[in-house]
Amino acid sequence: MDLSISAASGQTLTLYTGAVRFTDIGNQINQHMYFDMIDSVLLSDDNVLYLQLKFEFYGIAVDPQNAAHRAVIDTLLDNIYAVTGQRKPPELAAEQCFSQAPPPDSEPGEDRHTEQGESASRSG
């Protein structure tokens, strides 16, 4: 598997079998990392993909709408999930995430758990 993203600013992210290489020519960085070494993957609002290894961040500009970039990002995430044994979270539509209505018998701002907990502790 040789998938890569190259940014105009001189960064390159290349996926190999079992590993990733991040190269930044301008800052003389050539970092090889195994998938299980990556602590987190972040995509900023301005479409910079960051890989975190302990306290170091390696970033490359990406275009999530570009099919080739999307393939690299998806393959990277799939490999990280596969090696770390984590379950990949299900994909939800945005409207499903934000359309959670409160239960019909509750008032806005009402904390039903606290009231139940207080009444249970008083009766016990």
Q: Which pLDDT score, from 0 to 100, does residue 91 have?
A: 54
Q: Which pLDDT score, from 0 to 100, does residue 98 have?
A: 35
Domain ranges for the chain: 3-84
Specify the range with the lowest mean pLDDT, choosing from 8-12, 83-87, 88-92: 88-92
Please name the residue ranges forming H helices in 13-90: 67-84
Encoded amino acid at 32, one letter: H
Q: Find out whether 29 and 13 touch, Cβ atoms under 8 Å.
A: no
Secondary element (H or E) of residue 99: none
Distance of CA 60 to the CA centre of its chain: 15
Q: For the domain with range 3-84, which CATH number is right: 1.20.1250.20, 3.50.50.60, 2.30.29.30, 2.60.40.650?
A: 2.30.29.30
Q: Which pLDDT score, from 0 to 100, does residue 107 have?
A: 52
CA angle 80–43–12, rounded 5-degree value = 75
Higher-confidence residue: 115 or 8? 8
Strand partners, 53: 56
